Structure 1
Amino acid sequence: MHNSNNHLHANFNNDFNPIDNDFGVAEGSLEERYEGAGMCYSEDGQTFLDLFDADEFAEYRNENLFYPFTSKEEWEIADFLLHSPLSMAAIDMFLKLPLIQKLHLSFSNARELRSRAEMLPSRPSWKCQIIPSTHPTKYPIRLFWRDPIECLESLFSNPLFHDKLDFIPRRVYSTAAHLVRVYSEWMTGDAAWEMQTRFPRGATVLGTILSSDKTNITTMTGARLAHPLLLGLANICMHTHTKLSSKAFLLTALLPIPKYLYPHQQMQGVLEDRLIHECLSIVLKPLMKAAEVGIMMSDPVGNIRHCFTPLAAYIINTPEAAMLACFEALHHWHKEFFDHDCQWCLVAVGASELNFWFSILQLVTGYHHFAGRILKLKQVTGRGHHDIQHYIIGLISGAAPCRFVIAIHALMEVQYLAQSPAPDDDLLESIDQALLTFHQNKDIIMTLGARMGAKKPIENWHIPKLEFLQSITSGTRNICRHLDRDEKLRRFAIATTLKSHPTYHDPNDMPGDVPEEEDEGAINCDEQEQDDLRTALLEEMNQTRVTMNYFSKARQIVAARDGAISYPPRTFIAGGTAIHLNYNPSHTGVSIDDVATNFNILGLHIALSEFLLRDGIQEEGC
């Protein structure tokens, strides 16, 4: 058997000889790989496109790939409308516009549009189950869920993840002497390695990630609440599954939170917790069975693997009792900073003073500018918390007691170090040391009365989000949302894009077998183009905000003009600094005297005179 973990291609060979040791170590290598893990047993599995072609309406797509829509253009209109925030009434009004009616669309209202969307290939499907209760509730208890194994198979066979999956546990080191471990992907942690030892040789460990949070799912029918349960795959590379646009987490269940008709509030909480556990037992039963005995699954290229599905992480909201082997940075780290660290700073320095300092910060390209001051911020997201963190230490330094600054700086150090994409043992020790520094200096926060409640100071450190910081390093070593229609639209877009591309070839239409004398290691050009298409499609669907590289832009300007740049240049390099001048200034109507005084530029008058003089000379030369 030949197994290539990087590209997921494998050739089945009955002459495979087992190796006796538990892991393979090449001399001088920077990593140890668990030998015999993630084997492929056949290439006859069903791929994403195989399932797409097995749909009940597949025969209609032989002539019209975009059925039940009449054309690619009609599908694009439907996809836009179904993803838009427009109500059904607004869509009806849009479709009745004379210009739109001239398009002769196959649907004339929102109801018909949605009925066509329901005809798109879908997998897995949703089901509803009534949960009986011995205690009266305002409404029947309904559990909406879908098979977690089908959800996991959907993630596992997604063609967009064809080169983003990792199947082999490994120990990575910073040097060939194997002294310092490096932790990046889940497969580089001890948890994946230890899990692999529990399963038969050749098994593929699919680390399952579960995530839930209490959220309001509708305000239309009594503001009912539910815990959405999301399922993810730890084998997907971190850079991909941390992007929301990658859709690397599937909504697997809506765990009900009923309104119990019970007089005691505390008892209602107990009943809700018991119901959540009951529903989790129902939903996760197939997953637990697969973790025990395994299940055969197909990867993105159709290789069949013997898969086991142990729980790698369970991400839950703080009030829900515990977090198992995982720490969710966006919700906990940034929220902990804004709810606690930032509030302590406001008390220690003075709210009005710190607020004023934020408002007069120099505007820097790429950084958020708080012109309206931070006390006026509403509905602050994790991005806003992160933006405030950029400035907080610099603003409180010299204004707050030294030990207070040290304590806040230590917490900031923990948060920044913990976001490293490839932490090693040295970095984890630095995180522990930063936490120790905070604890050694945190008493100053109490002394200043900075830990404030609604009306008076709080004299304890019962802060769950702060306590969870203690589990960062241990959690890192163990492991280093969304509904049906959206998923159908996304899967349909993926399939039609792949199949309509000129380089797509249906494997079932390929004539003959590969000649025996063909080199097994040779790269198939069609196969490589298919891989490139899937990779490009994933990158296109995961578009994110790009940071402008002004060094590169300045060099491109110079190269394009053969060094002759019109004066004055708007983007240029001065020594080790790239400078980009805004077309529209951030401050207007300001006198030169005020600018020179406010920004302490004593030679501004002289510099401007020289600039204008040189600019006049340049114009005369033209």
Structure 2
Amino acid sequence: MKLKQVGGRVQRDVQRYIIVVIAGATDLDVIIAIRALMEFRYLSQATAITSMTCNKIRASLQEFHDHKDALIENGFRCGEKMKHVLKHWHIPKLELMQSVVPSVERVSSILQWSADTTEHAHIEVIKDPASTTNNHNYDSQICQCLDCYEKCQLFDTALALHGSTTESIPVLPVGQDANGNDLDTYDGDECRNVLDDIWTLKRKVTNFFDVAAQLLAALPGSVPRLPHTFIAGSTAIHLNYDPSLKCIPIDTVVEQFSLPDLHGALGDYLNREGNIAQNFHTFGGQRRSPPDVHLPFKELDVWYKVHLQ
């Protein structure tokens, strides 16, 4: 399978599950090499890099070099045209990685040289404001929209600063405290509290354990939709209300996701929990249900993303 026109969001999604997908399907050295390379990239893009971070970057790159031969041995290092296995590592970008730590030690974090900020600015100051216009006089309407955004941000900042203190602060001469004593230093706790109040997330973190407990305690028929939050041992699992794939035939799921024992697993689960079960248990061991077991349903919903807590 080839991916074309892959955007940044798709790349970030692939980075999240690539190790889990290939685990068990290839040699351990291949997985270690890919994980080390990903860790090197993440650490190198940090906004603040310390000497300890530099040591971790070096260690990640060295770990990749220690296990990279497994990629050639398993035939993953192939030419683009002839598809022959390449038995060398003459890759300019790989050679460039040797210069990351020396560059950081000389000019600080390399993220400051990234073009992501300027490229994303086109979305923030052109595309998004343009979507609010009537497709006429773009320049003037975009400027008005940006001016409105700025005023709203300044107003929010003023409210945050005003609400961060509960006591009025008297105006004192510069360099003196309330007793008239000279101040050589000042306590920055109040300033830090103000900044924390401005920049910290305002959205409350959802406790999926409480949500699942409320659903279990709810009376039958009182929940308008099927529960999508469950507890499995010490882990809370939450699914979006809308699945990624709706009403997919079981045979299609078996073929698409390479799950030859899915029918038997579903049969075992129904025999143990029943048709309206909301519990989780460990899957494993020998299948008791035959591959052609009769199921009371023929279609499944599939979720690509799961929230774990």
Structure having the larger proportion of residues in strand: 1
Question: Structure with the greater relative contact order (CA < 8 A, sep ≥ 6): 1 or 2?
Answer: 1
Structure showing greater radius of gyration is 1
Q: TM-score, normalised by structure 1?
A: 0.28
Q: TM-score, normalised by structure 2?
A: 0.49
Structure having the larger proportion of residues in helix: 2
